[in-house]
């Protein structure tokens, strides 16, 4: 019977009931050691099995926290025969993760997560599935990432997932976005009932002591009565030091262990240190201490350790901790050495052996360091950057010479950065830098500095990164190997770009040119392009236009590197060729999805969403940016997340969603780094314009234009023009238009850009006839080339307003109706209301106050993605692989799409405009 857990069991029962009806769900149980998490998992397991559900159960093992995918392998050990049914790329990734096959070109941790999702979905086709993970705080990072990736994407599958994690443990189990249930101690009545059940004969005064000491902790209530010595049972409750329950329990378990025979204690210690090493390895190691399997019996009688399915299992993780911490240091070292020897030559035991050798060392150990480095490279092939970092960091500590230690620390730092642990990467790289001598080994020093600076840059400290790179480069230039400064100066140029520091970028350009490096021309072009973004004099935009064309030419038509291809897409966008940028980004997105390369997908979506926004493809931009935010959260890419949030903020501004716009711009404004801050200010200013707050829009945009770093401001200049004119202060608008026209002329000469410039010129023109001619030309230019339907509708709205003021109401109505139709289709409520108001003012009385959205506009971003791929002929399985969802969830979304679009099946999707 579970005392005092009515709320918790009800939550679990509800989760299981939903899974049995095809509604997946996840729950994270959190609480201190002994609070009853494992007991609740047992309850869920029994309930699930009684109702016919399949149960997969796994656990995190402290000793294997650095072994990649160890926890996931343990959980899925009974379903490994299903891997062959997965899509080829997913099957290969999962086999590679488990060491069942070599990884071609390195593993992908996100593809492993997708494989887990598809595997769980396949198992659930047979009968509803419950996945239980105990001690999740001890899971290796790779297993945790894969399981959380899958759990967040469960939707319409009959699958329930429950994680149990200690919240008083140093190794936290972060699970943002998943529902949590925190367990507290039992109330007095429940605690008393539980104690009576387990220690009915306990004297009252001793019972009171236990109740006080346990503080509602169920495990303490069960264990403390049997662990107390007789004299403690009669001690005054005021004479006992109040210890945290888990500390008291450790003492209790340690007391029980100390009472066992020496061979049994040896067997316990080997088992505690062994992690998931097989029983044969454990027994081989225990032979060195004179123990055999027969010595297990006293431990079983004491309910500390038992044999389950051919493996030794501790009754509770605290027993393992008590056994290990209670042993002397020399004893622990000897046990790890024995385990390393026992694992020598055993299939699949190389990684464990390396870590046991490392644990057995008391100083430097070149052999153990080499074996850990080999383990790190095996982890790299499985896509496990965290394990690579851990192994290299420990290998560095065992390395006797400074040069070798620095090299391994640099490798650890690079892997930590790849895993998204930028703070740790910077700290490791700083240690590596301190160990290297610029003069003696400039290449190693430069490599460590590069990693340290990149970590700082990715965290938004681009100025610090530039200072470190440029300063180191200058010292290396004076040394015996000046060529080693080249990569540092190239990276310094990018850091200066990110920091918006034009002077620093110019300095990096001059220095690389002086060195005649192969990439010097690119750095020079980058500096000139940035100057065109930051300065509004006539020469800067013109030179910036030539620079971006040089960057496009230097990049070539295509590249195999996704990151370089994304950069080429940005150059196309700066050049005004939005269609080329969109097409490139779209192709890269398909490539990333087909290959399961979610690690770079966010960078691609950042470009794709921005180009879709600028092209007026608001529905597509919403879908891309929404999915991209989830991608960025999965990968820990803060810069990507901020950029995509500002795309969504712009869309919210168009809709007049003030609360959403402010929420989506908050992080960018708090970070204070352009172009994020500029895009955020632009979104808020567009919101103000739409709501008629012209002074607020003007003030905000003038502050952006006056800022030293105004990267990305070009796109907001037309809004500044309109805000200035409507506020009655046209002069700032004239300056903004001059800058915009210079930039348009230098960079793009695209019809859509010229149309916007003509609209701004018409706004500022005092002559009504000249303004009308400019508006008319602007509308024609909008119709001649790819561009934003929203911007075209804005031009038509302004043209219609102008025509109405000229008393040409018939012509005005045509423009205003066209603008209204576009605004309503885009959901641009404030702008549509402006158009309706103008039509009413022009005598048109029957103007609908909000036409219904089109069928496609009723779809959620995820439904739109699924429907688009289904219209292309992809199966649910293929759609799931592309969108990183399960095939069943793809089918679920389609079942919602059909009634919304008024169709009955997949074949009709091609006729609805997808």
- Asked whether residue 248 is domain-assigned, the answer is no
- Return the H-helix or E-strand segment holding 462: helix 462-477
Write out the two tokens for 580.
Answer: 């080329």
**d(C-alpha 827, C-alpha 859), whole Å:** 13
DSSP state letters, 852-869: PPPGGGGS-HHHHHHHHH
Q: Kindly report the average pLDDT of the chain as a whole number.
A: 86
Q: Decide if 425 is inside a domain.
A: no
pLDDT digits (tens, 9 = 90+) for 518-553: 678 888 888 888 887 776 665 677 788 888 888 888
Backbone φ and ψ of 644, nearest 5°:
-65, -35
Residue 755 β-bridge partners: none
CA 99 to chain centre: 25
Residue 437 lies inside a defined structural domain of this protein: no
The Cα–Cα gap between 872 and 863 comes to: 14
> What CA–CA distance (Å, rounded) separates 569 from 555?
10
Same-domain check for residues 327 and 304: yes
Distances in Å between the alpha carbon of 90 and those of 117, 479, 588, 634?
Answer: 10, 49, 19, 18
Residue 420 confidence (pLDDT) above 80: no
Q: Same domain, yes or no, for 863 and 812?
A: no
Does residue 209 carry a pLDDT above 70? Answer: no
581 lies in some domain: no
Q: Which of 83-97, 345-359, 530-544, 735-749 has the lowest mean pLDDT?
A: 530-544
**Structural domain ending residue among the three candidates 327, 346, 365:** 346
Residues 119, 232 within the same domain: no
Give residue 672's pLDDT band: very low, low, confident or very high (50, 70, 90). confident
The first and second tokens of residue 717, run together, are 């200049």
- In 3D, which of 628, 587, 621 has the Cα closest to residue 605? 628
Domain boundary among 533, 558, 587: 533
> Are residues 322 and 201 both part of a single domain?
no
Residue 78 shares a structural domain with residue 196 = no
Examine residue 230 and state whether it is found in any structural domain, yes or no.
yes
Estimate to the nearest angstrom the gap between the alpha carbon of 371 and the chain centroid. Answer: 31
- pLDDT-derived band of residue 691, with 50, 70 and 90 as boundaries? very high
Give the C-alpha separation, 464 to 454, whole Å. Answer: 10
**Residue-level pLDDT at 911:** 76
Sign for the CA dihedral angle at 329, 330, 336, 340 comes to positive
The angle at the Cα of 330, spanning 327 to 331, to the nearest 5 degrees, equals 45
Give the residue-averaged pLDDT of 688-709: 92
When computed from its CA atoms, the radius of gyration of the chain, rounded to whole angstroms, is: 33
Decide if 624 is inside a domain. Answer: no
The answer as to whether 192 is a domain residue is yes
What's the pLDDT tens digit per position in 445-499?
999 999 999 888 877 788 899 999 999 988 988 888 888 888 888 889 888 887 7
Count of domains forming the chain: 6
Q: Encode 215-251 in three state secondary structure.
A: CCCHHHHHHHHHHCCHHHHCCCHHHCCCCCHHHHHHH
Identify the three-state secondary structure at position 615. Answer: coil
CB of 801 closer than 8 Å to CB of 838: yes
**Domain with 860 in it: what CATH number?**
1.10.10.10
If one counts every other C-beta atom within 10 angstroms of the C-beta of residue 426, the result is 24
Q: State whether 83 and 228 are in the same domain.
A: no
pLDDT per residue as tens digits for the range 124-160:
999 999 999 999 998 988 899 899 999 999 988 999 9
Q: What would the mean pLDDT of 676-692 be, rounded to a whole number?
A: 95
Residue 556's nearest CA partner among 575, 571, 573 is: 571
Instruction: Give the CATH number for residue 770.
Output: 1.25.40
Residue 610 domain flag: no
Lowest mean pLDDT across 42-51, 239-248, 846-855: 239-248
> Which of 311, 330, 346 lies at the terminal end of a domain, its last residue?
346
Write out 785-851 in H/E/C secondary structure.
CCCCHHHHHHHHHHHHHHHHHCCCHHHHHHHHHHHHHHHHHHCCHHHHHHHHHHHHHCCCCCCCCCC
What's the CA gap between 440 and 427, in Å, rounded? 23
Same domain? 267 vs 193: no
Confidence category of residue 26, pLDDT binned at 50, 70, 90: very high
10 and 25 within one domain: yes
Q: What is the pLDDT of residue 105?
A: 43
Whether the pLDDT of residue 564 is over 90: the answer is: no
| pLDDT for res 239 | 31
Q: Does 140 lie in the same domain as 230?
A: no
106 with 193, same domain: the answer is no
Could you tell me the pTM of the whole model? 0.76
- Tell me the three state secondary structure of residue 96: helix
**Residue 30 and residue 132 share a domain:** yes
Which positions ≥6 away from 130 have C-beta within 8 Å?
A: 16, 19, 44, 45, 48, 53, 54, 55, 56, 159, 160, 161, 162
Q: Determine the pLDDT at residue 537.
A: 60
> Alpha carbon 11 to chain centroid distance?
28
The whole-number average pLDDT for the span 251-274 is 87
Which of 99-103, 255-259, 600-604 has the weakest average pLDDT? Answer: 99-103
Q: How confident is the model at residue 803 (pLDDT cuts 50, 70, 90)?
A: very high
Do residues 212 and 125 share a domain?
Answer: no
The pLDDT score that the predictor gives to residue 228 is 47
User: What is the 8-class DSSP label of residue 181?
Assistant: E
Percent of the chain scoring above 70 in pLDDT: 92
For 295-339, what is each residue's pLDDT tens digit?
999 998 888 888 877 788 887 777 887 888 888 999 999 999 999
Q: Which residues constitute the domain of residue 893?
A: 856-911
List the structure tokens of 485. Answer: 């400064």
pLDDT bracket for residue 218 (50, 70, 90): confident
């Amino acid at each position: 019977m579970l005392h005092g857990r009515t709320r918790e069991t009800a939550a679990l029962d509800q989760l299981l009931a939903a899974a049995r009806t095809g509604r997946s769900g996840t729950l994270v149980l959190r609480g201190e050691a002994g609070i009853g998490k494992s007991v609740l998992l047992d309850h869920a397991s029994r309930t699930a099995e009684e109702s016919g559900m399949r149960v997969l159960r796994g656990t995190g093992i402290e000793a294997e926290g650095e072994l990649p995918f160890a926890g996931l392998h343990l959980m899925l050990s009974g379903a490994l025969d299903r891997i062959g049914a997965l899509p080829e790329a997913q099957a290969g990734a999962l086999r590679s993760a488990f060491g069942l096959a070599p990884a071609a070109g390195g593993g992908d941790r996100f593809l492993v997560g997708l494989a887990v999702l598809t595997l769980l979905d396949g198992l659930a086709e047979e009968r509803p599935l419950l996945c239980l993970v105990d001690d999740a705080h001890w899971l290796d990072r790779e297993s945790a990432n894969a399981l959380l990736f899958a759990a967040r994407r469960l939707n319409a599958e009959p699958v329930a997932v429950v994680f149990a994690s200690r919240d008083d443990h140093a190794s936290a189990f972060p699970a943002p976005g998943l529902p949590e249930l925190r367990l507290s101690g039992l109330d007095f009545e429940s605690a008393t009932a539980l104690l009576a059940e387990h220690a009915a004969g306990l004297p009252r005064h001793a019972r009171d002591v236990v109740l006080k000491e346990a503080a509602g902790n169920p495990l303490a209530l069960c264990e403390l009565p049997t662990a107390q010595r007789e004299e403690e049972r009669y001690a005054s409750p005021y004479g006992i030091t109040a210890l945290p329950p888990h500390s008291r329990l450790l003492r209790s378990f340690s007391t029980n262990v100390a009472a066992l025979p020496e061979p049994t204690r040896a067997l316990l210690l080997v088992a505690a240190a062994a992690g998931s090493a097989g029983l044969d390895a454990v027994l081989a190691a225990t032979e060195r201490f004179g123990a055999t399997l027969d010595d297990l019996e006293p431990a079983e009688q004491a309910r500390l350790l038992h044999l389950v399915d051919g493996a030794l299992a501790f009754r509770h993780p605290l027993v393992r901790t008590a056994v290990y911490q209670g042993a002397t240091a020399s004893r622990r070292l000897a046990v790890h050495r024995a385990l390393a020897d026992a694992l020598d030559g055993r299939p699949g035991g190389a990684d464990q052996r390396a870590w046991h050798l490392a644990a057995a060392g008391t100083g430097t150990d070149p052999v153990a360091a080499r074996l850990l480095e080999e383990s790190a490279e095996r982890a790299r092939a499985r896509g496990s950057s965290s394990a690579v970092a851990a192994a290299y960091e420990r290998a560095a500590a065992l390395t006797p010479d400074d040069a070798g230690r620095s090299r391994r620390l640099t490798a650890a730092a690079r892997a930590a950065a790849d895993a998204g642990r930028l703070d740790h990467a910077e700290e490791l790289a700083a240690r590596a830098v301190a160990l290297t001598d610029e003069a003696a080994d400039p290449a190693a020093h430069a490599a460590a500095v590069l990693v340290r600076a990149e970590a700082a840059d990715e965290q938004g400290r681009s100025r610090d990164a530039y200072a470190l790179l440029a300063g180191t480069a200058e010292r290396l230039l004076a040394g015996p190997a000046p060529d080693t400064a080249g990569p540092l100066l190239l990276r310094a140029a990018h850091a200066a770009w990110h920091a918006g520091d034009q002077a620093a970028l110019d300095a990096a350009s001059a220095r690389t040119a002086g060195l005649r490096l192969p990439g010097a021309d690119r750095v020079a072009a980058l500096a000139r392009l940035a100057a065109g973004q930051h300065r509004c004099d006539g020469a800067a935009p013109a030179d910036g236009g030539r620079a971006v064309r040089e960057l496009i030419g230097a990049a070539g038509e295509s590249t195999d590197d996704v990151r370089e291809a994304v950069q080429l897409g940005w150059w196309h966008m700066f050049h005004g060729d939005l269609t080329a940028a969109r097409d490139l980004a779209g192709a890269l997105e398909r490539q990333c999805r087909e290959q399961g390369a979610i690690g770079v997908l966010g960078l691609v979506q950042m470009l794709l969403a921005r180009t879709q926004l600028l092209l007026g493809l608001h529905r597509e931009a919403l879908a891309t940016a929404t999915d991209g935010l989830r991608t960025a959260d999965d990968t820990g890419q803060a810069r990507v997340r901020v950029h995509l949030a500002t795309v969504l903020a712009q869309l919210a501004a168009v809709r007049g969603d003030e609360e959403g716009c402010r929420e989506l711009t908050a992080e960018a404004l708090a970070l204070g780094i352009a172009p994020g801050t500029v895009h955020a200010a632009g979104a808020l200013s567009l919101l103000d314009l739409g709501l008629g707050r012209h002074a607020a829009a003007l003030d905000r945009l003038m502050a952006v234009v006056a800022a030293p770093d105004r990267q990305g401001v070009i796109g907001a200049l037309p809004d500044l023009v309109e805000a200035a004119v409507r506020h009655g202060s046209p002069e700032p608008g004239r300056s903004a238009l001059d800058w915009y026209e210079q930039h348009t002329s230098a960079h793009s000469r695209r019809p859509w850009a010229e149309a916007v410039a003509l609209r701004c010129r018409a706004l500022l023109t005092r002559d009504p006839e000249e303004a009308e001619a400019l508006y008319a030309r602007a509308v024609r230019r909008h119709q001649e080339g790819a561009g934003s339907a929203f911007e075209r509708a804005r031009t038509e709205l302004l043209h219609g307003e102008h025509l109405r003021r000229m008393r040409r109401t018939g012509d005005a109505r045509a423009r205003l109706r066209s603008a209204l139709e576009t605004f309503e289709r885009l959901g641009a409520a404030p702008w549509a209301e402006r158009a309706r108001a103008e039509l009413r003012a022009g005598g048109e009385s029957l103007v609908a106050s909000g036409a219904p959205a089109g069928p496609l506009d009723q779809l959620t971003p995820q439904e739109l993605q699924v429907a688009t791929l289904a219209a292309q002929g992809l199966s649910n399985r293929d759609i799931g692989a592309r969108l990183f969802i399960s095939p069943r969830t793809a089918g679920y979304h389609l079942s919602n799409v059909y009634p919304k679009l008024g169709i009955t099946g997949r074949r009709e999707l091609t006729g609805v405009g997808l």
